[in-house]
Chain A
């Protein structure tokens, strides 16, 4: 008898295990098979997973779109829009719709964050060696001279025509992957997929829910131990995009650590109290741009922007090992780190 009751309770607990989600779809949906695809592009590792009969075709189409975007947006490929703009000597350059959309977004986000996002930082980023891996600390004079040409308001765009003053160069690295995520979602949906998830170098974007109707669980890395996860959030139809100081950095001879997210104000790695910024929202492009901008803007800057635009959620990690997250994700946020986590108060 006891054995029977024990078995029953095990089964009941098992049911609880698999029913952690709120809604269930038809059994046929649950049994949908998935296909995955790795893509090595944009200097990063991308992994896509799609569910349903059309998954293989949808993944191939999405891969084509990624490679097309890489060709347009690469800063080093001599046939790309960005290379043409950066080597235009002040002349007008015709670009693709994709490039124009991203440049317009970059200018908009620069305006909204008081210049915390600046796509004309590229020459400074090169000087630090973050583009080649050949790292060095730039001299004061060099930085000063380069910063004279850092100002995103010098980028002129009219329709699909772009021009830059000589000596100004742009790079869309802070936005390209976010836009790519959006375009993958569009491509997948256009191919009849209703359930898919992609990771573009750690930036996650999901189409719909999992086939069984439950939310996707997305892990955010611990910036103090980047090989472990810090928290799990549950999402559907959202992008989860993180900018962290652990992604690309180098340690100088004196032991100081320099990371790749630079502050347009002084050309040095942004050091305004945050070590990781995760933005969760509907639009990958917006989230990607904001994650970089808010890393630079710091906690107060992030709070200020949230007050004017509550359409996205945030997970911030401060350099004193505290996690701050927005009220909007309180129900789907699980802290699995040893850090204290608290809700960002907007009052």
Chain B
């Protein structure tokens, strides 16, 4: 057996095993870096976190209220808000496709985008 063939067999085994694991476990947590910031069903930001610079910005809710969003090292979170429960802040960084960051009073949702996220 030549070195090349051995290498090939090795590579096939590795890729096959990776495929099996992927097929079983699925795509959670998300590999996607695309996120949507959605306010009452309207996408107000569509961002690729891998490209975004570190920054914070405020999102105003038309009926009153605000949330402060932070992008840092390719991760997104809500770090401050004037809502009473602060559930959005407690959620921390967005990590899972299944668990979006939600601010109920301000109808604000941050979640991984379908684009590039796969299912």
Find the B residue at minimum CB distance from A21: B23
Q: Does A255 contact B (CB under 8 A)?
A: no
User: Complex Cα distance A279/B8, Å?
Assistant: 46
Q: What chain B residues lie within 8 Å of A228 (beta carbons)?
A: 29, 95-96
B50 within 8 A of A: no
Query: In the complex, which residues of chain A have a beta carbon less than 8 angstroms from the beta carbon of B25?
Result: 232, 334, 336
- Report Cα–Cα, A40/B61, bound state, in Å: 14
CB distance from A14 to the nearest CB of B (A): 8
User: CB distance A133 to B84 under 8 Å?
Assistant: yes
Would you list which residues of chain B between 33 and 83 have a CB under 8 Å from chain A? 38, 40-41
B9 to chain A minimum Cβ distance, whole angstroms, is 9
Residues in chain A near residue B40, CB distance under 8 A: 38, 40
The one of A133, A232, A334 in contact with B85, judged by C-beta atoms closer than 8 angstroms, is A133
- In the bound complex, residues from chain A placing their C-beta under 8 Å from that of B41 are 37-38
Whole-angstrom distance from the CB of A201 to the nearest CB of chain B?
9
* Bound CA span A159–B100, Å: 41
Which residue from A5, A47, A227 sits with its C-beta under 8 Å from B92?
Answer: A227
Residues 21-56 (chain A) with a chain B CB within 8 angstroms: 34, 37-38, 40, 43-45, 47
Given A9-B12, A336-B28, 13 other A-B contacts at CB below 8 A?
A6-B12, A9-B11, A16-B16, A16-B19, A38-B38, A38-B109, A43-B104, A47-B109, A133-B85, A219-B98, A227-B95, A228-B29, A334-B24
A interface, CB within 8 angstroms of B? 2, 5-6, 9-10, 13-14, 16-17, 20, 34, 37-38, 40, 43-45, 47, 133, 199, 210, 217, 219, 221, 227-229, 232, 334, 336
Jot down 21 A-B pairs with beta carbons below 8 A, ordered by A: A2-B4, A2-B7, A6-B8, A6-B12, A10-B15, A13-B12, A16-B20, A16-B23, A37-B41, A38-B38, A38-B40, A44-B104, A45-B104, A133-B84, A227-B91, A227-B92, A228-B95, A232-B28, A334-B24, A334-B25, A336-B28
